[in-house]
Structure 1
């Protein structure tokens, strides 16, 4: 038996089951799960990479410098502990090392999304949202295709207009927020921020009385639940002086960034 085979056999023989206090795997400063790199001071106190600069690289327990020496032993512990995805009950079958759990959670596609209509309580996986909408809200949506400019007419008082890319099985929402200064318009995708969903941008054009406004966003945000709060970013603001009545007619193109 060669050395590599002996090592694998020893590793197999040493596999064991143990009960571990999960708090041991969390940063004692921010209480978030550890991710590599993990740093320690000369006295062995630990801190995650995010906390070190916030602490001005001074250990809160002993005031020794922290943020230079890595705790390789703790990093090895993290990499050796595998846990199921928190969305296992929803269908995710992946087991990931504890140190990469937070990264996987950002990429996992098995999160429950909430129907964007206020009077609907449906929750489901994003790829089931379109079929739910078509079956239950037949007059509340429009079909479209990405990368093609289309007309959008939305009643400002209705606040939202749902558009479905049936080919990609994705639900997009054009959302309006009326404020004294004008109307904020933004576009979101009802889906988790998973790579399998895809990445999209959007371009809006509004023309009235010979005046044309355009806005191009580098990102269509993927969200689990529609917010009723006015957006702080990623929006087009149509000033009050350019509004005519209670409806908006715009041109919209949602671009697929990953063909």
Structure 2
């Protein structure tokens, strides 16, 4: 017997108490029951009144246990069918994925970090929160591995992928994603600064870095464009990146796979300053 027999026929969500039925035994969840037409709550399938609780089905759905979908990744929980979706939204064993096409690799961020460095040979930069670090402008995926020493956060989640795209004319697009199966209670933002020519310094900021499990590959969420070399033959451009933890809760969660919303991007600022006040590139 398939578990779909325990789903509401109207909204298709798992049935949970209270459950209502008509005289012909058609079930409906509480939320849909309240929306049925008329004072008698006419059944959507037979138009008979839906007035009675179905305690027998409530007992059944309260005893149907299923394994977590992430059992292969270490979760041993047995979950009530109607609670399975909520459990898996926060399950600590939910995996992240290798974004390369056809890879199929899924595991913890710690295991992904090893795969990224060994299998793909992507450059890696270790950083500390709130301390600037340099990344060269080179078309590739750059691994950023954060240290949680200065904040009481879960170090296993401190994995970011900085993607510098292949050049469009002389410029590269830059995107940054936080690799995590679930959004956390705290947000992470960043600023990226660079100098293109003498006396110029530009800063782009993200209030909240997108969170993704990478199940659909790297999200397309570029927030700035940068040159590869400085004007006048001044050498390669270096990005000065600073990542910090926000104390405000991110109300618009960026863990939606495949969503290209850039609503958390702040427009970069051009600052005409003495270049001596910045690190020479």
Fold shared, TM-score > 0.5 on shorter chain = yes
Structure 2: 5+ residue stretches without partners: 149-154, 230-236, 249-281
- The structural deviation recorded for 1:175 is 2.5
Using the alignment, how far apart are the partners of 1:53 and 1:187 within structure 2? 44
Using the alignment, how far apart are the partners of 2:16 and 2:64 within structure 1? 13
Q: Is the 8 A contact 1:187 1:221 kept in 2?
A: no
SS in 1 for 2:227: coil
- The structural deviation recorded for 1:172 is 1.1
Using the alignment, how far apart are the partners of 1:39 and 1:146 within structure 2? 50
Q: Is the 8 A contact 2:136 2:238 kept in 1?
A: yes
Match of 2:223 among 230, 236, 247: 236
Counterparts in 2 of 1:256 and 1:136: CA distance versus 1, 3 Å = farther
- The structural deviation recorded for 1:76 is 4.5
Which residue pairs with 2:242 in the alignment?
A: 252
Mapping of residues 87-126 of structure 1, within 5 Å? 87-116=70-99, 122-126=105-109
- Is residue 156 of structure 2 the alignment partner of residue 175 of structure 1? no
Structure 1: 5+ residue stretches without partners: 1-19
Which residue pairs with 1:205 in the alignment?
A: 192
The structure with the largest helix share of the pair is 1
- Is residue 177 of structure 2 the alignment partner of residue 188 of structure 1? yes
Using the alignment, how far apart are the partners of 2:247 and 2:107 within structure 1? 25
Using the alignment, how far apart are the partners of 2:120 and 2:103 within structure 1? 10
Using the alignment, how far apart are the partners of 2:167 and 2:46 within structure 1? 52
Counterparts in 2 of 1:136 and 1:227: CA distance versus 1, 3 Å = closer
Which residue pairs with 1:217 in the alignment?
A: 207
Q: Is the 8 A contact 1:38 1:47 kept in 2?
A: no
The total of aligned residue pairs comes to: 226
Using the alignment, how far apart are the partners of 1:30 and 1:139 within structure 2? 45
Counterparts in 2 of 1:47 and 1:237: CA distance versus 1, 3 Å = farther
Q: Is the 8 A contact 1:199 1:220 kept in 2?
A: no
SS in 2 for 1:144: strand
